Amino acid sequence: MSLLTDLVNAARPRLATFLKYARVELTPPSPADVPAIQQGLSNLVKSARTGAWKNLTVKEATVNALVGAEVVFWFFIGECIGKGSLVGYQV
């Protein structure tokens, strides 16, 4: 019983920290966030058209590549979860 109590006492501060950040980071975008999202997308398109992406530092390019890879990996993981197997769809 004391092991369980010690476990709960050790986990409580970490859970509080997780909940603090989860309330901010895991919420869906609100209607007030839409203009900022539109501005970011227009900046991205503008950067692609003008070639400003060529002036990135190696660190910025690496971070952008890793973020893109993360999005792709999560897409494929979601696909595998959705179809229920690693190979093909169940028909």
Q: What are the extents of the domains in the chain? A: 2-31+44-83
The rounded distance, in Å, linking the Cα atoms of 65 and 81 is 24
**Cβ neighbours of residue 46 closer than 8 Å, sequence gap 6 or more:** 52
Contacts of 83 (CB under 8 A, 6+ apart): 89, 90
Whether the Cβ atoms of residue 53 and residue 47 lie closer than 8 Å to each other: yes
pLDDT, average across residues 15-29: 90
| 30-78 residue pLDDT tens | 999 999 999 999 998 998 899 888 898 999 999 999 999 999 999 999 9
Please tell me the distance from the alpha carbon of residue 91 to that of residue 88, in angstroms, as a whole number. Answer: 9
pTM: 0.56
Cβ atoms of 80 and 86 closer than 8 Å? yes
| Cα distance between residue 54 and residue 60, in whole Å | 11
The residue ranking higher by pLDDT, 28 or 62, is 62
